[in-house]
Amino acid sequence: MITQTNKKKKVFVAMSGGVDSSVVAGMMKDAGHDVVGVTMCFSINHPDSKKPSCCGVDGIQDAQRAAQILDIPHYVLDFAKDIDQHIIEDFTNEYLSGRTPNPCVRCNQHLKFGSLYAKVKSLGAGYLATGHYGRIEYNEATDQFELKKAKDLKKDQSYFLYSMRKEILPSVLFPLGGLTKSEVRELARKYNLNTAEKPESQDICFVPAAGYKKFLEDRVGNRIFQPGDFVTHDGNVVGKHKGIAHYTIGQRDKLGIALGHPVYVYKIDRETNTVHVGPETCLYAQGFYAGQFNPVSMAVPKEKMEVSARIRYNAPETAAHLTYLDEGMVRVEFAAPQKSVTPGQSAVFYKDDVVLAGAIIDVPIPCSEETGVYGN
């Protein structure tokens, strides 16, 4: 069960109120560990939404009930200040800068495996266990722990986990890494859990049903509505946009301009408040520069190396070369041009099933660096 060690230690389980983390608590108890359930409270509630949330009042209540069924202690910890400081503020600033953030990556980095990890360790935890679909395994050849993909690739969440600090890997458990979702639900029924048939939460927990644009408007007011120019790839102004936070790379719909042929957003320039549009070929880039490089399962590379890169959660991996520059910056060059390389999104680098590292995309590299022309 616990690949890091066979010793029985106190295991704190991060319980969101969903079926996955509830089953993890049951598995840890079955394995004979001293189990404590903890749920992060972010003081978030969307009364207008009927969708399940991983951090709302319903989630806390479901986690408490699951802990009662399993007969384990359960505590609610207040991290409202942390989510505002590390997640929501960044989410807002990134959109206002014309970038497309991934708050789930930052939540794992700063909250689950940052603030929460530090808190449970201070309370005597030997391990923090979560319901993520990923694996942490020890590599004897390198004498280090590695983050890996889940066995069930359809549920794999390793893309969102790359930002973990490598030094905490020996103390983190992903018990679901070798299971399928159907097997997890079967275990939930075995444990008679209240969450056995609970649907999954897919949305960003702090964004209401009205969507992220309404969330940003409520948070920053009219700053989200600063109009500017739509400019084509050949330099023509073809209309006015509603504010750069409304757009993302690759967007075609709801642009509000009619040119007689499809156009896509391929670049957003905060300095000039300009949204650049062009034909689909403009979406292709030969690589990108990225920052906040985190080598979770490797040393910082001294030479250019081959990797499989994933530039979005739902994107296929593609062959690439990675070069470490300095101060957490990397340059990535694709073997073949890739579509919709989006600043603010995470790029994760794999070798087979091992998560080598990841970074935040800053600037796409046009297919012609000399002219700055995008396209394939």
Alpha-helical segments (H) within the chain? 19-30, 57-70, 80-83, 89-96, 103-106, 117-122, 181-190, 212-220
Catalytically annotated residue among 54, 55, 205, 282: 205
CB proximity list for 130: less than 8 A, separation 6 or greater: 13, 14, 21, 24, 112, 172, 173, 174
User: Using CB atoms within 10 A of its CB, is residue 235 exposed (0-12), middle (13-18) or buried (19+)?
Assistant: exposed
The Cα 313–Cα 58 span in angstroms is: 27
HSE-up (13 A, CA, CB side) for residue 330: 30
Contact 72, 244 (CB under 8 A): no
HSE-up (13 A, CA, CB side) for residue 289: 10
Helix axes 89-96, 212-220, angle to 10 degrees: 100
The Cα 241–Cα 120 span in angstroms is: 47
The Cα 2–Cα 136 span in angstroms is: 10
Q: Is 41 a catalytic residue?
A: no
Catalytically annotated residue among 55, 107, 282, 367: 107
Q: Is 104 a catalytic residue?
A: no
Nearest CA to 342 among 265, 272, 274?
265
Give the active site residues: 107, 205
